[in-house]
Each structure stands twice: as C-alpha cells, then as structure tokens.
Amino acid sequence: MRSRSEVITLLTNPGVIAVVRARKRGQVLPLSEALVSGGVIAIEITMTTPDAIEAIREAAMHFGLRALIGVGTVLDAATCSKAVEAGADFVVSPITKREIVEASHSADRPVMLGAYTPTEAQAAHEMGADFVKLFPADGLGASYIKALRAPLPHLKIVPTGGVDLNTAAGLIKAGCAALGVGSSLISPKLLEREAWNELTQLAKQFVAIVEEARRT
C-alpha cells in the first residue's frame, strides 16, 4: 500500500484525475483500463456509481500499483471509511466537512474537500485537507483561480467542472495542482457506446495538454 505522501505526489503527476460516474458497475474496470492506457492513473469512482464500494474493491484489486483508485462524492465519515477499507487510495468530497478529513487521515489516505469561495477554501485547508476541490468550477475559469491563489498561494487547488481540452492548459498555468475531469473525458454518450478506445485517446490528449502547460 502506498503512503499518503506517495499518493499525493502521484495525484499531481500527471495531474489529471478522472471523475467516473459509470452507468453500471460492470463499466468501471474496462473504462479504467482505457484511462490507464491513456496515461490517466488517478481514477475517482463516485458514490453515485451503482455498487460503488464493490466497484472500488474490484478496481483496487485489479490494478494494484498500476493506478490510484479513489472515491468521490463522499459526504460523511462512514462512507469514507467503507471506501478506504475497500481499497480507495484517496478520498474526494464536494463539501467541507472535518469528519471526512479525520476518517481519511486516520487511514493514511489523502483527502480533497470541496470549496467555492476563498473563505471555504481556506477553511478546508485549515481542517487538514490535502487538496481543495474547487467545485463547481464551471464559469470560474483560470482568472478566478489566479486571483484566489494570489493571497492564498499555499492552497493546492483541483478544479472540477468546466475542465475540458480548451480550458485545461489555462487552469494549470493559473497554478492548479491537478485537474478533476468528468464529462468532458467520460461523457454520457461515450459510456452509452462503451467507446473505450476513444476514451484512451481523450486521456492521452488531456495528459499531453497538462504536461505541455507545465513546461511552458
């Protein structure tokens, strides 16, 4: 098992976290294989996925050290603990709640707490969150994150919502630690068609854009 610090490092390299809201549990393994083949190793399986805990357990056993399998849409400590026991490497919540940090850190797992405003983002940091999930980030853009980090440069911001092939580079250049990528990577239409080869190609594009943005 990787340590919390090791997982934190891997979440920022390459820095693309796939947010998985699968239509059924059976899609999780093949879509995750497609993501890993495309260079996206951080896979956040949301609790809105059917049988999410078992899907996390299967993925964690299947991938071992080849991927980081996380849990998303965590709203309480009990869910956090169940997911970690099933093998989740990291924990993501759309809200700011201290008990989730405590449950995650007690198992030596990193955690992202959700925030929207500067006050919420700083509160999440002070609660011990390893990352701040800026959510929903649709419409905020790189200029908001740059402005947010000017007085709060210590925050490790991970925007989710509004992250696509056109906005990814600007968000990284604004100082984001990583990007949470949902429907622009794993769209409902792609899931319906189970177009895994297409998903691999999209994953490669996101990784390339992030790597190029960091170089420049």
Question: Which tens digits make up the pLDDT trace of 119-167?
Answer: 999 999 999 999 999 999 988 899 999 999 999 999 999 999 999 999 9
Domain boundaries, the chain: 4-209
43 and 32 Cβ atoms separated by less than 8 Å = yes
CATH for 4-209, options being 3.40.50.300, 3.40.1710.10, 3.60.20.30, 3.20.20.70 = 3.20.20.70
Amino acid 25: pLDDT: 97
Residue type, 216: T
pTM of the model: 0.97
CA distance 4 to 155: 17
Q: Residue 206 and residue 194: Cα distance in Å, rounded?
A: 19
Radius of gyration of the chain from Cα atoms? Answer: 16
